[in-house]
């Protein structure tokens, strides 16, 4: 995939490719330091150990280059369990309460928290949201930068870049919706294909 595009930005833009070549890669552990990182991970593990959910599966904390992805049910849940947790989360605000506890515990530590998908939320250093890539693109002086995302409301992991004045934000519901919107915007003569 990285060879098909001029730029590819992974993990909120902290892993950057240009013309198929790795240009830059940031590491959350280098930025936060091991002590804060372990305090954060330990807090999350303790919090989740006390959560009583209908089901818990594996991979509760996924360590990525630019963030931690926290999933109270566990990322290895089935699609059906994902939907079940999402419905429960809408009623009981499990992730919202978890994030509020993290915000209290780590106030002033330079961390941000954002909702991601149906079962998780992301934790990353201040400034490492999806706008991170715009600093690189600013140097290229593009006329227009379009962004497509599904979590575009406040608190969602797409909100900041969707709402940034340097982008034209598009809220989409699925990959198919994204393809359709791209056809309508960039290839209007093929929009009905």
Task: Say what the pTM is.
Answer: 0.84
Q: What is the 3-state secondary structure (H, E, C) of 17-39?
A: EECCEEEEECCHHHHHCHHHHHH
pLDDT tens, the chain, 193 aa long:
899 999 999 998 999 999 999 999 999 999 999 999 999 999 999 999 999 999 999 999 999 999 999 999 999 999 999 999 999 999 999 999 999 999 999 999 999 999 878 999 999 999 999 999 998 898 888 999 999 999 999 988 899 999 999 999 999 999 999 999 999 999 988 767 7
Q: How far apart are CA 162 and CA 51, in angstroms?
A: 32
Binding residues for alpha-D-mannose 1-phosphate: 64, 75, 82, 118, 120, 122
β-pair partners for 111? 125
Q: Which token pair is 92? A: 């009981």
154 CA to centre of own chain:
13
Measure the CA–CA gap between 151 and 172, rounded to whole angstroms.
9
Binding site membership for Mg(2+): which residues?
150, 162, 164, 167
Instruction: Please tell me whether residue 109 adopts helix, strand or coil conformation.
Output: coil
Residues of each annotated binding site? 64, 75, 82, 118, 120, 122, 150, 162, 164, 167
Q: What is the set of domains in the chain, with CATH numbers?
A: 29-125 (3.30.1240.20), 146-193 (no CATH)
Cα–Cα distance between 59 and 73 in angstroms, integer?
9
């Amino acid at each position: 995939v990285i060879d098909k595009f001029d730029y590819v930005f992974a993990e909120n833009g902290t892993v950057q490719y240009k013309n198929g070549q790795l240009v830059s890669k940031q590491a959350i552990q280098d930025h936060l330091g091991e002590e804060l990182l372990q305090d954060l991970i330990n807090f999350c593990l303790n919090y989740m150990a006390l959560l009583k959910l209908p089901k818990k599966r594996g991979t509760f904390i996924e360590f990525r280059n630019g963030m931690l992805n926290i999933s109270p049910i566990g990322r290895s849940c089935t699609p059906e369990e994902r939907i079940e947790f999402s419905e429960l989360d809408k009623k009981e605000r499990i992730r919202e309460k978890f994030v509020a506890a993290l915000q209290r515990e780590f106030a002033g530590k330079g961390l941000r928290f954002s909702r991601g998908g149906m079962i998780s939320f992301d934790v990353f250093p201040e400034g490492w949201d999806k706008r991170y890539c715009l600093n690189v693109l600013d140097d290229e002086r593009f006329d227009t930068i379009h962004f497509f995302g599904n979590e575009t409301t406040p608190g969602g992991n797409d909100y900041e870049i969707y709402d940034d004045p340097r982008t034209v934000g598009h809220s989409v519901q699925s990959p198919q919706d994204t393809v359709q919107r791209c056809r309508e915007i960039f290839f209007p003569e093929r929009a009905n294909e």
